[in-house]
Amino acid sequence: MSEVNLLLEFICFAMALYFLKGNNDKFALFTKLYLGLVCVTEISGFMWKLYTNKSNVWIYNIYILFEVLYVSFGLYHFIKPFKKNARPLYISAYFVFIAVYLYGVFTRGAFKFQTTAIMVASVLIVFLCLYYYYNLMKSDKIISIRNSFGFWWVAAVLFFYFGSTVYNLFMNVIFSNKPFAYEILVYIMLTLNAILYGIWSYSFICSSRHQKLLTSSY
């Protein structure tokens, strides 16, 4: 299963490298770096498990810090044109996540999966996604949804974090008590990843179209 996951992540990374190459935005650069990091993390986790036969959870525990940072930055980047002075909200959300994360590390240790921190991050990210759509609807600006980088990027995030609610809720219970359901959770995560990376790839195409439109209009 992790091979399929890795393949999805590589495709998305390649799409980002190709379609965001003309985009000199800070966010486009972070996207490429982040997706590169996703691939590196996935390979490291895979290798660590393979060669040491020990839990690779600590790798993912480090990775989620960057994941939430990137997603928060992305959401802030896309809401900026519609809402001025939104930065404190996004910084606060990230610090709430960090506080819960550190609490988890101190109480449960760094080698246990930080499920509470991930749950809190999911709730905050879903809230910020809905906040983006609320401001998008309220704004006087007219956007073409079909070609909107922001709309699709946030849609992918909303699908992934809202859709992973059940996964997050059941993960702890199932890992410890119901190993028979483990496989279904893996499939769910695979589906969610496919949705996330699929829609993100489409959003990169939208960004490329927008860039082409901008350069052709000069």
Partner 1 sequence: MQFSSSEIVNIIILATCVFLIAPVFLLIYIKEYLRKKRVHEEEKVTLNQKFEAEVLKTRIEVQEQTMQTIAADLHDNIGQLLSLTALNLNSINIEHTEKARQKINNSIELINNSIRELRALAKLMQAENILMMGLGSALQQEFNHIEKTGRYQLIISNQLLEINFASPQKDLILLRLVQEIFNNIIKHSNANHITVNIQLIENHLDIIITDDGIGFDVNQTGYNGLGLSSIRKRVEMVQGTLNINSAVNQGTSIHIKLLYP
* Selected binder of partner 1 within 137, 176, 216, 218 (CB under 8 A): 137
Backbone angles phi, psi at 109, to 5 degrees: 95, 160
| Angle at the Cα of 161 from the Cα atoms of 171 and 187, rounded to 5 degrees | 50
Q: Is 58 in the site for partner 1 (CB under 8 A)?
A: no
Closest approach, Cβ 111 to partner 1, in A, equals 26
- How far is it, in rounded angstroms, from Cα 50 to Cα 155? 35
Q: Is 81 in the site for partner 1 (CB under 8 A)?
A: no
Q: Is 195 in the site for partner 1 (CB under 8 A)?
A: yes
Helix (H, G, I), strand (E, B) or coil at 82: coil
Q: Is 136 in the site for partner 1 (CB under 8 A)?
A: yes
Closest approach, Cβ 23 to partner 1, in A, equals 23
Closest approach, Cβ 81 to partner 1, in A, equals 14
Closest approach, Cβ 98 to partner 1, in A, equals 26
Q: How many helices (H) and strands (E) does the chain have?
A: 8, 0
Q: How far, in Å, are 36, 68, 169, 212 from residue 110 at the CA level?
A: 24, 17, 20, 46
Q: Which stretch binds partner 1 (CB under 8 A): 7-15, 16-24, 39-47, 137-145?
A: 137-145
* 6 Cα distance to chain centroid: 15
How many residues of this chain bind partner 1 (CB under 8 A)?
24
Q: For residues 133 and 162, is the Cβ–Cβ distance under 8 A?
A: no
* Selected binder of partner 1 within 163, 190, 194, 209 (CB under 8 A): 163
Q: Is 188 in the site for partner 1 (CB under 8 A)?
A: yes
* Selected binder of partner 1 within 13, 167, 200, 204 (CB under 8 A): 167
Residue corresponding to tokens 């769910």: 188
- Expressed in angstroms, the distance from the first to the final Cα of the chain is 47
Q: For residue 2, what are its two tokens?
A: 């992790």
Binding site for partner 1 (CB under 8 A): 130, 133, 136-137, 142-143, 145, 155, 158-159, 162-163, 165-167, 170, 178, 180-181, 184-185, 188, 191, 195
